[in-house]
Structure 1
Amino acid sequence: MVPANRRLEVMRGSRGWLRSPRAWVAVLVAGAVVLSGLIARDMFFPPTASNAASRTYTVQQGTVRIQVSGTGNVVPSTQVGVAPKTAGTLSEVDVHVGDHVLAGQLLAKIDTTTLQTALDQASANLQTAQANLQTAQTPLTADQVTQLQHAVENAQTSYNDAVTSASATNAADAAAVSADNAALAAANLAFANDQAALAANVQYQTDKRQLVFDQGQLTIAQGQFNADGCATAPLPFTGTCLTDFNAVKAAQATVNADAARLPLDQAAAAPTNATDQAAASTASAKLTADQAKQSADGVAGQKAINAASSQLTSARDQLNVQSTSKPNQVASAQAAVATAQAAVSAAQNNLDGATLRAPANGVISAINGQVGEAISATTGITSEAPGTSAPQPSSSSTGSSSGSGASSAFMVLSSDSAYEVIAPFAETDAAKLAANQTASMTFDALTGLNVPAHLLALAATASTISSVVNYYATFTLDRIDARLKSGMTANATVTVQQQTGVTVVSNQALHRAGGLTTVTLLKSDGSQRTVPVQTGLVGDTTTEVVSGLSPGEKVVLPALSGASSGTTRGIRGTGGGGGGIIAGGPGG
């Protein structure tokens, strides 16, 4: 056993050696030699295939999608600015921001003192003008009375002619409609006889019942096929699934044969059925057209009679009034009365306009004024989003955007029963958008909520946001959630192109060089082979394979950096293909 003092001396000596510069150089050189050896081993003696690990992807039937995304806001389906029709000082405001209002509900009032005074003055002026008209009425000369009498006679002749013409046209139209009704009845009778012949034909009815029976057998066979789990069984079918498949195939062939016999039976039992049916349709269309003409002629004839009657009444009134008055003075007085009446109407409208009522149901989203403040009669201008009456968000070069339109109005009324999403898309993504494309919406404020939607319209002109060209798109929500509120941030993911029910492979598995696309196929014995493939639609994460691969085959994916053998990872693309790490090479 080494004495304690000896061990202490050894430790002190070792620490002294470590403090020597030459010792540190020796350690660094030794480390470099070891590192160089490890690098050389990996370069000249790489791991064998049996020790390598491959990530794989299982080829299968699925869907390839190309999607684009944009972030916008929830907006009300309609938004309007409202304000009194008359400018003035607010005397009362009867609602608050956030209140739900009904159409016709009182919102606010303007002080009416000045407006009532203006109406009283206009009414007094009207009374004066009416008195002046009464004073101006004096008898006409005999010649003027004769001219007015001639005008009455001419108006009476025109009225009589209008009545006669309308009566003749109505009679002709009625005769045409009557003839059309007779023709339609005959055509319907012929078609009914054809239907009766079909109902009485034994062969047709027998084949028809046989078709119904065989369709039932087909349904039973299909139910057995699904009940045995064959709908998801791999191809080719074997055992019970093969038997079920053949039964379905035979039942379908029988139904097809039955369906083919029915037209032959129909032609034999009622050869004019189709012709009679077409004749009945033609007769019905002619009756509809003639009835429409009869209605239009009736309206036109009555309109002509009414116009002639109005002219006759006017001529008689002119005779009655002007035969006892001077035309020029009366005309001037009548003009003064008309002007005074217009002034009264304007004053009354201004007074009525001092009361503001809701034009529709909705929620008050803004109020710009308080009692005692002077407001104008402007309602603001609401910029509409593409394809809708929803408000268009404003954009600026600084990148800020907010709901636009009607912000300068006294009140802003927004719909709270329906919402839409308005979102800008970069021009490269906007070029892929088209109306009616499906989309899904998520909302920053509502975790887990995903609402289906579809693209309603895309703006025809661009908007610049933060110096980037964008196009606004309007989305209609296919489902409304009670938690949604106007202004919430919405994230839209739009499917711009997809192929469903196709052979799908992960994009990572594809190798492209010199116009040739290949994959590394992992065979059942663990060996790998490069095979060419023909591709179709290239999606965001998966690609459609037209030829070269079959569902169920496995392809090799590039190795993940930092992945070690023995680690198992799952890979799943848009098409639904599954995969993982398989340790070992050929024979493994």
Structure 2
Amino acid sequence: MNRGRLGTVVVVVASVALVLLVTADLLRPSPAPPTRVATALVRKGTVRVVARAAGTLVPVNQQNASFRQAGQLVEVDVRVGDHVQAGQVLARIDPGPLQDALRQAQARLQQDQSTLDNTVNGNAVQTARHNLDAAQTQLQHTVAETTLAVQEDAATVLQDQRFLANDQTTLRRDQAVLARDQSNLNRDQAHMASDLNALQQDQARLASANAQLAGDQGQLARDQGQQQKDQGQLQHDQQAQQHDCAVAPSGPACAADRQHVSQDNARVNQDQNQINQDQDRVSQDQREVALVQGQVSQDNARLQADQASLSVDTPRVVQDQTLVAQDVQKVQQDQGKLLSDQEKASADQVGGPKEVAAAQAQVTAARDALTQQTTNRATTIAGEQAVVAGDDAAVNNAGQNLSETVLTAPSDGTVASVNGAVGESVTANGGVTTPQAPGSVAPQPNPSGAGTAPAGGIPPASGGPATASAFVVLSDVQSLQVVAMIGEHDAARMEPSQSATVSVDALPGVRLPAAVLAVGPNGTVLQNVTNYLATLVLQQGDHRLKAGMTASAQVVVTELHDVLQIPNAAIEHLGGATYVTVVGSDGTERRTAIQTGQAGDTTTEITAGLRAGDRVLLPQPPPPAQGDLAYAGA
């Protein structure tokens, strides 16, 4: 039993030890992998420089068709996308106005032809004599009427001046009367104001006098009451004296009573004196009141007289003011009529001689016409023949204009745009032209509304061809070219026949071979960058391509074949020298100076310092983190 238990323990301990060893091995960090460096093989290949440009697909051939006459559209026979043939009717405008112009030109020709016929066959000399007589008679009438008008104007102005002078005299007289009456009214108003002020002062004095009288009368009443009281005390003390002295004449009571009676008599006498003074003051106050009342009565009488004067002066002034206002209005009317008549007289003085001069001119013209008919007949006939010839040319021109109300296709093509509908008005656009792309008859793309410039700094062209507002644009949709904007740096390196690759935004993954046709000689500043137009010919077509699509071109401007080359990333520039790091077969590294030739977009030509088969060091990626190494080892 013990031996079996011991064996079991040994087995368990061995198992635990094995598990611990395996676990420790798994948790031990794995050794770092050997360092690997990125290198490139020096070998012969192609060094290429590519210029990139954004542009637009445009038709190789395009024609503008516009009306040479303005008018209202009555017929539009094509739609965008229709294929038309040369001479096919595209649209018509209303021929009515031009038909009227043709009829007018024909009528003018007929009239001038009739004049010529009359000159050649009619009695023009006699007619010219009659015209001269009529002109001379009209001159006489004009002179007489002008003279009469001037005389009548002078008489009217003189009469207006007399009327004005009389009315001004009346105005001055009425103004003088108004001034006198106004002065009287002002004086009466001043008297009334003074008398009213005096009345108010006297009324104030009367009120003061009445108040003083009332006060003094009150004081008199009080003093009289005090006297009655003192007399009553006197009577009481006298009765006491009689009683006390009758009982004991020599006694103290009698003596005191006699003293009281004496004092009471003194007080009664004093009260009487005060009453006498009060009565004097009351009498004086009554006299003052009577005096002031008399003055107030006088003031009221003067005030009534002033009011009576004002009642007479005020209506008189109002009447005078009305008369003056009427006089002023009449004077103004006279002045207005005088001014109007003077202006008429001035106008007649100026216009009369003009009318006479015009009549004299008519006489002169009639006399010249008679002279021309009598002495210059041949010259007159030649001049009228020239007028008839001009009229004939005008009729032909009107007929040509009428024929231009019908717009026809100048060549075969597909309708790219129609700028108008029936009922709208069109202008005469006979001078519409299309600027052409370099080296081609294809139209230039419209630079307006250019989008954001790409990395190369060349803004993409937008829209379709840059044309004026032609009524109908015909395009050859089967033949397309690329017209692109390129920067001045690439323009200096781009030449005809250089190969290119064109991609179209609308067709992802499609790359079409192309070649440079031409680069424009003149640049255009766009967003502070000078750009040039370049035309590229597509060497392969696609039925999905349409004019106006945005295209991107990659043009190979420089290409060297079978030259020793390395990636641009391997080259270092230090202190004006060029170096690479050469990695030996044993992994050793050494910095080596080199000489370079043409630098391409991704590789550079090596002319000295390296041999085919060498390996050069490329920039190394950053080393992985320690945790990443442990995880990779696990």
Give the Å deviation of 1:354.
0.4
- Report the equivalent of 2:511: 450
Sequence identity (%) = 40
**Where is the strand percentage greater, Structure 1 or Structure 2?**
1
Give the one of 485, 488, 509 matched to 1:424. 485
Gaps of 5+ in 2: 1-28, 122-375, 453-460, 626-634
* Counterpart Cα distance in 2 of 1:472 and 1:73: 11
CA shift, 1:518, in A, is 2.6
3-state secondary structure, aligned to 1:485: coil
Distance in 2 of aligned mates of 1:503 and 1:397: 42
* Change in CA separation of 1:392 and 1:339 when aligned onto 2, cut-off 3 Å: same
Give 3-state SS (helix, strand or coil) of 2:52's partner.
strand
In terms of fraction of residues, the more helix-rich structure is 2
After TM superposition, give the deviation of residue 459 of structure 1 in Å. Answer: 5.3
Letter in 2 for 1:391: Q
SS at match of 2:543: coil
Which one of the candidate residues 587, 593, 610 is aligned to 1:532?
A: 593
How far did 1:109 drift? 0.6
Residue 106 (structure 1) aligned with residue 89 (structure 2): yes
Contact 2:64–2:471 (CA under 8 A) maintained in structure 1? yes
Q: CA deviation at 1:129?
A: 4.5
Q: Which residue of the partner structure matches residue 521 of structure 1? A: 582
What is the DSSP-based 3-state SS (H/G/I as helix, E as strand, rest coil) of the residue aligned with 2:447?
strand
Q: Is the 8 A contact 1:363 1:415 kept in 2?
A: yes
Query: Of the candidates 341, 354, 357, which is equivalent to residue 405 of structure 2?
Result: 354
Residues 367, 81 of structure 1: alpha-carbon distance in 2 compared, 3 angstrom cutoff: same
- What are the Cα deviations for residues 351-380 of structure 1, in whole angstroms up to 9, with x where unaligned? 110010112222222222111111111254
Task: Report if the CA contact (8 A) 2:415-2:474 is conserved.
Answer: yes
Aligned mates of 2:451, 2:620 — CA distance in 1 = 43
Higher Cα Rg: structure 1 or 2? 2
Q: Which of the residues 419, 440, 449 maps onto 2:501?
A: 440
Cα distance, 1:453 vs structure 2: 2.4
Pairing 1:47-58 to 2, within 5 Å after superposition: 51-58=34-41
> How many residues are aligned here?
332
**Cα distance in 2 between the residues matched to 1:335 and 1:74:** 56
- Equivalence map 1:154-165=2 (5 Å): none
Structure 2 distance, partners of 1:132, 1:562, is 109
Does structure 1 residue 471 correspond to structure 2 residue 454? no
- Provide the residue aligned with 1:118 in structure 2: 101
CA contact (8 A) 1:137 1:329 kept: no
Does the 8 A contact of 2:462 with 2:548 survive in 1? no
What whole-Å deviation, never above 9, does each CA across 1:518-548 have from its counterpart, x for those lacking one? 3333444554444332110011100001123
- In the TM superposition, residue 396 of structure 1 has moved relative to its aligned partner by 5.4
Distance 1:436 1:79, change over 3 A: same
Map of 1:338 onto structure 2: 389
- 2-structure distance, mates of 1:364, 1:407: 16
Per-residue CA deviations over 1:58-78 (Å, capped at 9, x if unaligned) read: 222222112221222112224
Q: Which amino acid aligns with 1:64?
A: V
Aligned partner of residue 351 in structure 1, secondary structure: helix
Q: Cα 1:341–1:479, aligned 2, differ >3 Å: closer, same or farther?
A: farther
- Aligned partners of 1:479 and 1:508: how far apart in 2? 35
- How far apart, CA to CA, are the structure 2 residues paired with 1:87 and 1:112? 10
The letter for the 1-side match of 2:428 is A
Matched, 1:89 2:111: no
1:382 is aligned to 2:452: no
| Structure 1 range deviating more: 71-80 or 326-335 | 326-335
> For residue 361 of structure 1, what is the amino acid of its counterpart?
D
Cα contact 2:579–2:591 (8 A) shared by 1: yes
Determine which of 460, 463, 467 is the counterpart of 2:522.
460
Aligned partner (choices 52, 66, 70) of residue 49 of structure 2: 66
In terms of mean alpha carbon deviation, does 397-406 or 506-515 score higher? 397-406
Q: Deviations over 1:317-353 (max 9, x none)?
A: xxxxxxxx97424422331221122111111111110
Show CA shifts across 1:467-523 (max 9, x none).
655433332323333221111110111222222221111112222222332333344
- Determine the C-alpha separation between the residues in 2 that align with 1:452 and 1:393: 24
Instruction: Quote the Cα distance in structure 2 between the aligned partners of 1:563 and 1:365.
Output: 61
Question: Structure 1 residues 397, 61: CA separation in 2 closer, same or farther (over 3 Å shift)?
Answer: closer
Deviation at 1:404, TM superposition (A): 5.2
**Residues in 2 aligned to 1:398 and 1:479: alpha-carbon distance in whole angstroms:** 27
Alignment of 1:537-548 (within 5 A): 537-548=598-609
Cα distance in 2, alignment partners of residues 93 and 397 from structure 1: 33
Deviation of 1:561 after TM superposition, in Å, equals 3.8
Note closer, same or farther for the CA distance 1:84–1:526 as it changes in structure 2 (3 Å cut): same
Q: Give the 3 Å change call, closer, same or farther, for CA 103–391 of structure 1 in structure 2.
A: farther
* Aligned residue number for residue 560 of structure 2: 499
Whether the aligned pair in 1 keeps the contact of 2:450 and 2:462 (CA below 8 Å) is: no
Deviates more, 1:374-383 or 1:127-136: 127-136
CA distance in 2, matches of 1:406, 1:89: 22
Counterpart-to-counterpart distance in 2, 1:514 and 1:475 = 42
Distance in 2 between residues matched to 1:509 and 1:486, nearest whole Å = 44
Letter in 1 for 2:100: T
Aligned pair 1:366/2:428, yes or no?
Answer: no
- In the alignment, structure 1 residue 403 sits paired with structure 2 residue 464: yes
One-letter amino acid of the structure 2 residue matched with residue 74 of structure 1 = L
**Aligned AA (2:419):** N
Q: Do the aligned residues in 1 keep the contact of 2:69 with 2:429 (CA within 8 Å)?
A: no
Residue-by-residue CA offset, 1:542-576 (whole Å, 9 max, x unaligned): 00011233333333322234689xxxxxxxxxxxx
SS in 2 for 1:393: coil
1:424-450 deviation line (CA, Å, top 9, x unaligned): 234444444344433211111122322
Cα 1:448–1:552, aligned 2, differ >3 Å: closer, same or farther? same
> Which residue number corresponds to residue 611 of structure 2?
550
CA, structure 1 residues 412+437, in 2 after alignment: closer, same or farther (shift >3 Å)? same
Cα separation, partners in 2 of 1:458 and 1:92, compared to 1, 3 Å? same
Distance 1:491 1:357 in 2: 37
Match of 1:508 in 2: 569
Return 5+ residue gaps in structure 1 as ranges: 1-37, 139-324, 565-588
**1:83: how far off?**
1.5
The 2-side partners of 1:464 and 1:533 are apart by: 41
Aligned to 1:166: none
Q: Residues 103 and 463 of structure 1: is their aligned pair in 2 closer, same or farther, counting only changes over 3 Å?
A: farther
Q: Does 1:392 align with 2:426?
A: no
Partner amino acid, structure 1, of 2:88? Q
In 2, the alpha carbon distance for the partners of 1:535 and 1:469 equals 31
